Every structure is written in C-alpha cells, then in structure tokens.
Amino acid sequence: MENAVIGFAVCGSFCTHARAMSALEQVRARWRTVVPIVSECTAETDTRFGTAHDLMREMERICDHRVISTVKGAEPIGPQKLLDLLIICPCTGNTLGKLAAGVTDTSVTMAAKAHLRNGRPLLIAPSTNDGLSASASTIGTLLARKYIYFVPFGQDDPQKKPTSLTADFSQVADAAQAALEGRQLQPLLLGPLV
C-alpha cells in the first residue's frame, strides 16, 4: 500500500453511488489512508438507490475513517495540509459549476478549495446529465485549471440522454495515480459507456 493520503468526496449523483463505492474500494486497496467526504445533500438524502446513512456507513467501513459531511469539517483540509490528493467521485454538474465559479458553500466544494490552496491535485469524476449542454462550459473551464485532473469520461446513454456524461469509474484509481504524478490519464474522452 502506498502512503499518500487521499480524500474521496461523493456528491449527489445517486444513481452512480454503487459504482463510486467500487471505485472507493479500489482506491483504498492502493492507498493506506483514505478520508471519506460527502456533500450535505448526500448526507441528508435517501433515494431509491439507498439511504444516506447506509452510504456513509459503507464509506466509513471501507476507509476506517469518519465521514466529513460539513463545511466546518472540511475547512481544516487546507490549513492542516491533510490530503495529497482529493477525488470527487461522482462530481455533479452543480458541483462542477460551483468549482468553476469558486463557490464554497458545501463540504465538497470547501474541501476542494481548501485542498487546492496547497497546490495539490484534485481529481474529478464527472457524472452529469447536462455535461454536453449547460455543464460543458464549466468542464472546459476546469480542464484549463492547474492542479485539476479528470477521470476519463464519455456519454453514458447517447440515445436517451444525448447530453449526459459520466466518468469511467473503473479508472478512478489509475487516474488518481496519474494525478499524483502531475499528469492527466489519457485518453480523456471515451466512446459511449453503455
């Protein structure tokens, strides 16, 4: 196991949470210390995909670490230089927009702001129904920023959801290693993921 400290933040793309937990397992198998983080929406919302409580308990089981679920809890990540890499998996269109605009009103966006102030890598696994429409400009903005990397992504259902994008969650651990090395895992754009 490697010694880098990894933050793993989960946003509200609830239909991808099972795949995100598989990615978290892969990350935890590679790195000794993984700190789980959830957005307030994720911490408070039960859906047909599962309960918030069960998701957070699963994250704590995998990581053997308490979940950070508040802005106050995420803020020390910066001044204490707690993480070597922060992964946001999944990262919703809402969070993409906030990151691009510098908005820090959730635990996940605060974790990202606090982490980036140290010049350390942020890895984004997008999952948004408007990735090729309203969120396209924010993805472009973030692609041009220093220290920000993406998990390779593509259209998840080109016929029924032609503007929807999602990361290939099976590549999160490899993309994390690349980001720690200061490089973008390639190819970034994938064919349909159906």
DSSP secondary structure, 102-154, as one string: T---SHHHHHHHHHHTTT--EEEEEEETTTTTTTHHHHHHHHTSTTEEE--EE
Does residue 187 lie in a domain region?
no
The residue among 129, 171, 155 whose CA lies nearest residue 20 is 171
Does 30 fall in a domain? yes
pLDDT attached to residue 193: 81
Q: How far is CA 87 from CA 46, 127, 158, 163, in A?
A: 23, 13, 26, 23
- Domain ranges, residue 104: 2-180
What pLDDT shows up at residue 45?
A: 86
Residue 189 resides in a domain: no
Distance (Å, whole) CA 23 – CA 95: 19
> What pTM was estimated for this model as a whole?
0.96
Residue 186 lies in a domain: no
Query: Strand, helix or coil at 77?
Result: helix
Question: What does DSSP say about strands 165-167 and 153-155: parallel, antiparallel, or unpaired?
Answer: antiparallel
- What tokens appear for 140 in the block? 């472009």
Residue 185 within any structural domain of the chain = no
The predicted pLDDT at position 1 comes to: 64
Residue 20 lies in a domain: yes
pLDDT value, residue 2 = 85
Number of domains in the chain: 1
Tokens of 144: 């041009």
| Any domain includes 42 | yes
The CATH number that applies at residue 146 is 3.40.50.1950
Give the amino acid at 137: S
- 59: exposed, middle or buried (Cβ count in 10 Å: 0-12, 13-18, 19+): buried
Tens digits of pLDDT across the chain (194 residues): 689 999 999 998 888 899 999 999 999 999 999 999 999 989 898 889 998 899 999 999 999 999 999 999 999 999 999 999 999 999 999 999 999 999 999 999 999 999 999 999 999 999 999 999 999 999 999 999 999 999 999 999 899 999 999 999 999 999 999 999 999 999 999 988 86
Q: Is residue 121 part of a domain?
A: yes
